[in-house]
Structure 1
Amino acid sequence: MKVVLLGASGQLGREWQDFIERQDEDEFNLLAYTSDDLDITHYQQVSDELRKQKPDLVVNCAAYTDVDGAEDHRKLAQKVNVEAVLYLAELSQELEFKLLHYSTDYVFPGSKLDRRAMPEGYPEDYPADPINWYGRTKWEGEQAIRNTSSNYLILRLSWVCGQYGSNFVKTMLELGRERDKLQVVNDQWGSPSFTTDIVRNSIALINAEATGTYHYTSKGLISWYDFAEKIFTLSDINVEVESVDSDTFSTKAPRPHFSKLNTRKITAELGEVVDDWEEGLIALLEQLKKR
């Protein structure tokens, strides 16, 4: 299978490359492009390259993911997360390749009432109602694909963490070694999606010829405070963690209080593929020790 990977320098894009390097070379022929190699907003360049390569699958890991920055740079976020994605969907339809696109838990409203009503998380068909511009652009990007391509796979993720790039786990490890005390919010609830598991299950969905929208995240429901406490415990880092409300930190973009994704659909189709969040964290910390 010939695969074009877009956004190859991000934490998920780098995980894709690392994962494929360990697989049978005959199964995947991966062509990885960073934004410097191929900017998805440069439509003619994208068109020329995809027509040249004739891929079976395009994996779009490119996105504008700065949640607060999106509030100040709305046109850029719209261009990357919606307009460029629409063009990829149009090329998918024309050139007949499958499009795998990653989206986010932030398409949902994340109210405290929803946490009580749906303790296992939002199902795929729950009405989207994003509360910030980033979430809105990701939802519009999803809709652009659904309305244009007949061969697509959208995988929604939450709290993405991995061995590459910047994420909550790596930030906590750094701050925990620098400071004696930290404040972490206790009123935003969800579960992490670890990049190794994301890629593994993305490939499983592709091999199963799945189409449509799926959720992937870990088992369990925790707050960012719970997550930080476990990171420090497992890493033997002695730091005092103070539990605080979201109002303690001023952010440009509002955050959902609840963003758990329900994973019944992917489990029903692929089997027991969702690990507990603590197991995923242990595996990630082991990866980080080896780097």
Structure 2
Amino acid sequence: MMKALLLGASGQLGEEWQRIINKDYSDEIELLSYTSSDLDITHYQEVSDEFREQNPDVVINCAAFTDVDGAEDHKKRARKVNMEAPLYLAELSQQLEFKLVHYSTDYVFPGTKLNKREFPNGYPEDHPADPVNWYGKTKWEGEQAIRQTTENHLIVRVSWLCGQFGSNFVKTMLQLGQERNELQVVNDQWGSPTFAENIVKNCLNLLRRDIDGTYHITSKGLISWYDFAKAIFEMKNIDVSLEAVTSDVFPTKAQRPHFSKLDTEKIEEVEGSEIIDWKKGLRNLLDELQ
């Protein structure tokens, strides 16, 4: 039986890991889950003591500083959570010989309009990183720290994360659709949503096959946030007047990439993996949220 420790258990992805393992894999995986209040990944001695006591086969790190605008104001904290703590987890991975699963982001890439033309299927895993905001920069530094410290790692980049748990774009749109008759949504940021359930299932497949390295997981298709909102309201038969606007209508502290599609060709070549179309993923999620 595989023993796995899950960090960041109360987030979107952490909750989904627990749901799927408890439902379908409890006979093959013993999962110990820790919220940030149970075990703060920046408290190194506590982390070390717990890991040595539990002696896991796998550590799944879903803990991160994900407030993109907040990272611009809290640079030290963002770097500590997104780079320094993952470096320490990688050092423990070397010492205790467990596989480290770590999540990263589309925001490690520059996301230029030129890149959108160059990479219609999205950025490949080996494209040079050049983040445009502090959050992306700290996530990239975290990736590099892990790669330079342990080979026994799986780094998974995701984009536009949404699922049953936590807050995300789909849930926000459903709420706003009940409250308002008219909405403005940006139409000049392009990518594809990644559904939490699909992430976990593909990661489990990679773990079963003991695969290392960096992989992109997202859904098929390329859309704007406006397209995504439109589909949500159409599928739920919610009558909202939608207006497509440019990003400068909603100024943010952190710059956002115009293009953040991730290419999934590499993971699709792994037997047993499944990358779904974004509309199928959205339908599944809306059914689950009923």
| TM-score of Structure 1 vs Structure 2, range by shorter chain | over 0.9
Name the counterpart of 1:266.
267
Q: Distance in 1 between matches of 2:189 and 2:24?
A: 37
3-state secondary structure, aligned to 1:83: helix
Residue identity in the other structure for 1:251: T
Q: Check the 8 A contact 1:188/1:258 in 2, yes or no.
A: yes
1:97 aligns with 2:103: no
Name the counterpart of 2:199.
198
Q: Check the 8 A contact 1:205/1:270 in 2, yes or no.
A: no
Name the counterpart of 1:5.
6
Q: Check the 8 A contact 2:205/2:272 in 1, yes or no.
A: no
Alpha-carbon RMSD across the aligned residues, in angstroms, is 0.7
Matches within 5 A, 1:177-196: 177-196=178-197
Q: CA deviation at 1:208?
A: 1.1
3-state secondary structure, aligned to 1:22: helix
Name the counterpart of 1:235.
236
Name the counterpart of 2:69.
68
Name the counterpart of 1:48.
49
Q: Distance in 2 between matches of 1:220 and 1:164?
A: 23
Q: Check the 8 A contact 1:7/1:13 in 2, yes or no.
A: yes
Name the counterpart of 1:135.
136
The TM-score, its normalising length taken from structure 1, stands at 0.98
3-state secondary structure, aligned to 2:229: helix
Once structures 1 and 2 are overlaid, which stretch shifts more, 169-178 or 264-273? Answer: 264-273
Q: Distance in 1 between matches of 2:48 and 2:79?
A: 19
Name the counterpart of 1:219.
220
Name the counterpart of 1:113.
114
Q: Distance in 2 between matches of 1:235 and 1:24?
A: 32
Q: Distance in 2 between matches of 1:152 and 1:94?
A: 13
- 1:20-39 Cα offsets, whole Å, 9 max, x none, are 01124231000000001000
Q: Distance in 2 between matches of 1:29 and 1:76?
A: 31
Q: Distance in 1 between matches of 2:73 and 2:231?
A: 34
Q: Distance in 2 between matches of 1:180 and 1:278?
A: 24
Percent of paired sites with the same residue: 67
Residue identity in the other structure for 1:81: N
Name the counterpart of 2:15.
14
The TM-score, its normalising length taken from structure 2, stands at 0.99
Residue identity in the other structure for 1:130: P
Residue identity in the other structure for 2:107: Y
272 and 100 in structure 1: CA distance in 2 versus 1, 3 angstrom threshold: closer
Q: Distance in 1 between matches of 2:55 and 2:252?
A: 43
Residue identity in the other structure for 2:168: N
Q: Distance in 1 between matches of 2:164 and 2:254?
A: 26
Gaps of 5+ in 2: none
- 1:163-195 Cα offsets, whole Å, 9 max, x none, are 000000000000011001111000000000000
Q: Where has structure 1 moved over 4 Å in runs of 4 or more?
A: none
Q: Check the 8 A contact 2:205/2:273 in 1, yes or no.
A: no
Q: Check the 8 A contact 1:82/1:141 in 2, yes or no.
A: yes
Q: CA deviation at 1:271?
A: 5.1
Matches within 5 A, 1:164-183: 164-183=165-184
Q: Distance in 2 between matches of 1:19 and 1:33?
A: 16
Q: CA deviation at 1:272?
A: 5.7
- 1:184-210 Cα offsets, whole Å, 9 max, x none, are 000000000000000000100101111
Q: Distance in 2 between matches of 1:169 and 1:259?
A: 18
